[in-house]
A and B are shown apart, each in its own frame.
Chain A
């Protein structure tokens, strides 16, 4: 494939639109048959400036461990939602630390884990700044006794990057729904979002919606770490929301 036509998959999440319903997180669980206690995708309750660095999470400590509790003291309270899954970093710390190359970065952008290569050392979990990786501590516990979602193994260049029946002792995470992207459809979290807060597309194409939204002021999560995520956020715009 020529360099000019190579895709650079990316996503924009508009925090102005997100209503904190967790449909993307639950949809993700279903699509990927995630066992109990696994969440590849979570909707965090954040202070509005989280992604712009204005209110670093540690500066504005949450008042509660529960979701939907605003930041600040009444009447000066504010709140935003921050859906977080794998950021598919271009300079991914997890890819750098994996001793066996089980975690790898595809040319078009998704960071994937080879279920058959991973030795379960969990170095990638220590290296990930976003805390998005999950480990198969034991045998998977499922709420129902049948497989839901995509439902079959998926391989990229012969490497097993998704399986609904996960083996014990390996690390896994969001695949950006590589199996759906390869079919030409959007990742499932994008498809199920009821308010269109998620836009997926080719960042290399300047005319794509996703590239234009990034140009409009897309910010990355923890940008000072230089991981260069492929997931961008449109932070809460106070002018627009008044």
Chain B
């Protein structure tokens, strides 16, 4: 693809039949999610599957997932610049675009989770500085503004080449710590809680940073594959190799950190910690997330990325990147559900659920969580909106144009 013929104007003139179909389908799905949210607003969160034991669900899984997704691009772009990794530089603008889109959508998905979404402004009016949630909202805003500025510097016409390169480098040095901080703070929302043994580990921030780089890179890889398929976006073999190495390494570190958590709890055998972990290990009620994390989204893509004959095929690379996303999402479920499902005071009759179920007990000793169609619709709508943002952003910002051509 390195020797493509440059004809940028006609290429971006029209979406083509497939592109229009995508836009219509995506628009409909976003509308569906929006209507589900309006329905939820009229009824309250009672229409979700969450109750007083598992009181965070699909929205928070997706929030943690999207915050993670926003990392890869920006860390990749900044690292390419700060450490001079040439092979990743062609993906810098695509990376920063996905970062900006993901963090914006991550902030959006918090809103349907709130019982009183209309009061969200109180976070700015009466911030309680000891709350990691306040830190997180602030860093999300800072990160979004940063990504937009970075994207502007990278894409704006009429900036001298040397000037642009200087600013991109300066922004890279700021971007790396900002991204690491974003993921650490999101991790601390969970990791600082003494009431949840499965969350309360110092490994949480390193785990979030690693899985963020992993999933974010996978998203950039998928976006690059899509751009190559539909827009002749040129990515060299060297770049694919760098992406594969980056993802294989972060899969390994990610699983290593999770294994460290497992072994600490299993060997220590402290009952309240074991009880939480047992729910998500093989044999537990949520064991599916274990297999998705370790096999489907862990070992399988790892093997694909380290075996050259496998990863060289575009569709296999794409499949492996998708599986990485599945694995990281499974980790988010494992984290949230594992932390909440088994209350610390595990005594009969348990915790009242906060809703009335005729003919059934109001109490449960172990939580049950089945997401409802409303939650699926809203999360689907938000994820599709994310893909729309990336596709439209790609066009408007002419991400397909080579860096040298921008000025």
Contacts and interface: CB of A to CB of B under 8 A. Distances in A.
Interface of A: 35-39, 42, 44-46, 50, 56-59, 61-62, 64-67, 69, 82, 84, 93, 96-102, 117-123, 125-131, 133-139, 141, 167-171, 221-222, 225-227
Given A37-B353, A58-B275, A65 B44 contact: no
A137 B46 contact: yes
Please tell me the size bucket of the interface on B: 35 or more
Interface stretch (B121-129, B161-169, B260-268): B121-129
Interface of A is mostly: loop
B108 to A, nearest CB: 15
A128 B194 CA distance: 9
B201 interface: no
A227 B189 CA distance: 18
Contact of B345 (A35, A127, A130): A130
B350 A65 contact: yes
Interface of B: 43-48, 50-53, 55-56, 110, 113-117, 119-120, 122-123, 125-128, 130-134, 137, 189, 193-196, 271-272, 274-275, 339-340, 343-357, 361-365
B77 to A, nearest CB: 31
A137 B45 contact: yes
Contacts of B125: 100
B128 A130 contact: no
12 contacts: A46-B347, A57-B347, A58-B275, A59-B271, A61-B346, A82-B347, A93-B193, A97-B132, A100-B126, A122-B113, A169-B115, A170-B115
A45 B346 CA distance: 10
Contacts of B348: 44-45, 62, 64-67, 69
Contact of A117 (B51, B122, B363): B122
A177 B361 CA distance: 26
Q: Which of A35, A131, A134, A227 has the most CB of B within 10 A?
A: A131
Nearest to A34: B352
A101 B128 contact: yes
B43 A97 contact: no
A37 to B, nearest CB: 4
A136 B352 CA distance: 12
